[in-house]
Structure 1
C-alpha cells in the first residue's frame, strides 16, 4: 500500500462519512438535492447506506488493500451515477464537478489497489 493510497482513502472516508451521514440523517440540503434531481427520498437513504459501506471498505483497506480497491470501485461508480443524475437534471457543470472530482479520486484508489483485489483479504 502506498502513501498516496492511504491519503486518498482517508480523504474519501471523511468525505463519504459526512455525506452519508447527512443523507441518512435527512439533512435539509440532501432532501432538497434529491428532490431537485427528481429522485425519491428512499433513494437518498439507500445512497447514504451505499456510502457508509464504501467507508467501511476504505477503512478495512488500510489492513487489506484489496478491499480499498473494491471500495474505490464501489464509490467511483456511485459518484458516476451522481454525475449522470446532475446531467439528467440539466444542472450547470459547476454543480456536477464535485461529484466528478470525487469519482476520479475513488477510481485512483481503485487503480492503486487493483492488483490486490483478486484476493482482498490477503
Structure 2
C-alpha cells in the first residue's frame, strides 16, 4: 500500500466517520439537510449506518488491505448518491462540492486498491 493510498484512506475514513455518526445521532445539520432534499428521516439513519460501515471497513484496512477497496467502493457509491441528491434539488456547486470531492476520493482509492478485493475473505 502506498503512502498516497494511506493518506486518502485516512481522510475518507475520518470524514465519513464524522458524517455517518452525525446522521445516526440526528445532528441538526443532517436533519435539516434531509428535509431540504425531501428525504425521510429513516433514510438519514440508513445513510449514516452505510457511511459508518464504509468508514469502518477503511479502518480495518489498516490491518487487512482487502478491506480498503470494499470501504472505498461503498463510500464512492454513497458519494455518487449524494451528488445525485444535490443535483436533483438544484443545490449550488458550493453545497455539492464536499460530497463531490469525497466521491472522487472514494473512486480513486477504490481504483488504487481494486486488485486487493481478490484477497477479500470469502472471495477465494
Q: TM-score, normalised by structure 1?
A: 0.95
1:45 equivalent in structure 2? 45
1:117 aligns with 2:106: no
Q: CA RMSD in A?
A: 1.2
> 2:68 and 2:62 mapped to 1: Cα distance?
7
> 2:3 and 2:35 mapped to 1: Cα distance?
39
> 2:65 and 2:82 mapped to 1: Cα distance?
26
Instruction: Tell me which moved more, 39-48 or 58-67.
Output: 58-67
Shift of 1:63: 1.6
Q: TM-score, normalised by structure 2?
A: 0.94
Give structure 2 stretches of 5+ with no counterpart. none
Give structure 1 stretches of 5+ with no counterpart. none
Note the alpha carbon deviations across 1:42-88, whole angstroms, 9 max, x for none: 00000110011011110111122221011111100000000000000
2:16 equivalent in structure 1? 16
Which segments of structure 1 move beyond 4 Å, counting only runs of 4 or more? none
1:2 equivalent in structure 2? 2
Q: How many residues align?
A: 122
Shift of 1:5: 1.0
Relative contact order: is structure 1 or structure 2 higher (C-alpha 8 Å, sep ≥ 6)? 1
Shift of 1:97: 1.3
